[in-house]
Homo-oligomer: A and B are copies of this chain.
Amino acid sequence: MTRSVAVCLVSGGMDSAVCAAIAARDYTPAFLHCNYGQRTEQKELAAFHALADHYEAKARLVVDFQHLKIIGGTSLLSDGPPVPTGTTPGGGIPSTYVPFRNGLLLSTAAAWGEVLSAKRIFFGAVEQDSSGYPDCREEFIAAMSDAIQKGTKPDTDLKIEAPLVRLSKGAIVKRGLELSVPFHLTWSCYTGNDRACGVCESCHLRLKGFAEAGAKDPIPYVP
């Protein structure tokens, strides 16, 4: 029996790698990555291709949203303000939030998915144990899935799956270990150096996940 195609949004980080591993069990994965002038563009792109090779994704697409750099409004951009360390005081939305980025990513996945006759878009957003970005919330994902259903052809049947959205970072690492995810190929740090900084919010959440799972993160960190 021929497998259906699933578009997998793969940033190159830990969560998207676990999400792609879940997709690859049941679907033929088509790997999609987005550059948008972020500080770690080259590191993330290398991780994307390494993961695409690992999961033998024949279909892969890299999209440039350089206009997000012009639009601005985020410290993740290479010419933006500095990336903060740790979690955001008061639980607000951190300066690393990229305006409606995930809406753009999911729309691109929908466009590609419609041409590929894909049945699913796999999206590794995490709501429960995350930075509080509004475009990672389950209610946003459900609304976007509805918009994609209504804005594509009647014979297109493309749904978003976000299997990590309710998981803690520890549960995500455990799930990844069960699925033999090659965590050594992934990159989560918001800075673009050879070693992960260990102090930005993304490193903070990643390290928390490995600690909760009782496992050692295989990537190198600044001592």
Residues of A participating in the B interface, judged by any CB pair closer than 8 Å = 61, 63-64, 66-68, 70-73, 93, 97-104, 106-108, 110-112, 114-115, 134-135, 137, 139-140, 143-144, 146-154
Q: Identify 5 new A-B residue pairs, CB closer than 8 A, beyond the known A100-B107, A104-B111, A143-B146.
A: A64-B64, A99-B152, A100-B151, A104-B107, A134-B150
**A151 touching B103 by the CB < 8 A rule?**
yes
In the assembled complex, which residues on chain B have CB atoms less than 8 Å from the CB atom of A149?
A: 143
Q: Within the complex, which residue of B68, B146, B152 is in contact with A111, where a contact is CB–CB below 8 Å?
A: B68
Set of chain B residues within 8 Å of A152, measured between Cβ atoms: 99-100, 134-135
Contacts of A61 in B (CB 8 A): 67, 70-71
A79 to chain B, nearest CB (A): 15
- A143 and B135: CB pair below 8 A? no
Alpha-carbon distance A73/B112, docked complex (angstroms): 9
